[in-house]
Structure 1
Amino acid sequence: MNDPRDRGTAVAPPIIGSGCTQRYDLEAMAPEAGTSFPEARRFWLRLQAEAQEDAGLAKPDASQ
């Protein structure tokens, strides 16, 4: 087990390409590296629904 007093470190995944085509190597990403976000879709959909509700409340009501 690691020493709990050690500082945490994060390392970016390997990068492939260069310039405008530079991107993370998707093959190198794995859940063990902390790149698995199983709840991300649900969270994103919830944020979008809340934003739509807020936008709906902010619109002036034409019936008044």
Structure 2
Amino acid sequence: MSDPLDKATSKAPATLGEGCLSRYDPDDLSSEDGTEFPGAAELWEQLQDTSDSPEEQASAAAQGRH
């Protein structure tokens, strides 16, 4: 019987490390893998701003950060 995964149209990029240290090999990634995300920094800032607790927001406001 043939391997059903042989019919897959996409394959994961190569990985480095094992277990919880496993990660995609950056040298094996390309633009076709969807690794470009030009808005990542802005999204990260936005998510960090919305995830602050009310106490952290009050402290930041008191320090003039918001």
Structure-2-length-normalised TM-score? 0.51
Q: CA RMSD in A?
A: 3.0
How many residues are matched?
Answer: 50
CA distance in 2, matches of 1:48, 1:40: 12
Give 5+ residue unaligned stretches, structure 1: 1-8, 60-64
Q: CA deviation at 1:34?
A: 0.7
Structure 1 residues 21 and 57, CA, compared in 2 at 3 Å: closer, same or farther?
closer
**Corresponding residue number in structure 2 for 1:29:** 29
Q: Does 1:38 align with 2:30?
A: no
Q: CA deviation at 1:33?
A: 1.4
Task: Give the aligned residue type for 1:55.
Answer: P
CA distance in 2, matches of 1:12, 1:35: 12
CA distance in 1, matches of 2:10, 2:55: 40
CA distance in 1, matches of 2:22, 2:11: 17
Structure 1 residues 23 and 45, CA, compared in 2 at 3 Å: closer, same or farther?
same
CA distance in 2, matches of 1:55, 1:10: 44
Q: CA deviation at 1:50?
A: 1.3
Q: Once superposed, which parts of structure 1, at least 4 consecutive aligned residues long, lie more than 6 Å away?
A: none
3-state SS in 2 of match to 1:32: helix
Identity percentage of aligned residues: 36
**Corresponding residue number in structure 1 for 2:54:** 55
